[in-house]
Amino acid sequence: MEISKINAGQWIMVSNSIDAYVFTVINETELLVGYLQNGLKAIKEKVVFIDGKWEFKSSGPNGSYLRGQEEALIKRGR
């Protein structure tokens, strides 16, 4: 996937296995996305484009819990 074609409102794949919804395009190599952690908790976190794929910006715990409409959107999925 070309990174220049990513827009808010799209679903992408992070770390080759996690469906993530793009909330904000920060720049062409960094996004703010929402995803389900362990299939249960809706989380918002930054991802970066590295070596041709989207990866979490931080390797440790980072991000915030989603609530309300954002949480419902992530739990519904694609």
Write out pLDDT tens, residues 4-36.
689 999 999 999 899 999 999 999 899 999 999
pTM for the model stands at 0.91
Domain ranges of the chain: 3-76
Q: Residues in the chain, how many?
A: 78
Write out pLDDT tens, residues 62-72.
889 999 999 99
- Tell me if residue 76 falls in helix, strand or coil: helix
Which has the closest alpha carbon to 31: 52, 51, 12, 59? 12
Q: Read off φ and ψ for residue 39, nearest 5 degrees.
A: 70, 10
- Tell me if residue 15 falls in helix, strand or coil: coil
Determine the Cα–Cα distance for residues 26 and 40; give it in Å rounded to an integer.
26
pLDDT band at 61 (very low <50, low <70, confident <90, very high): confident
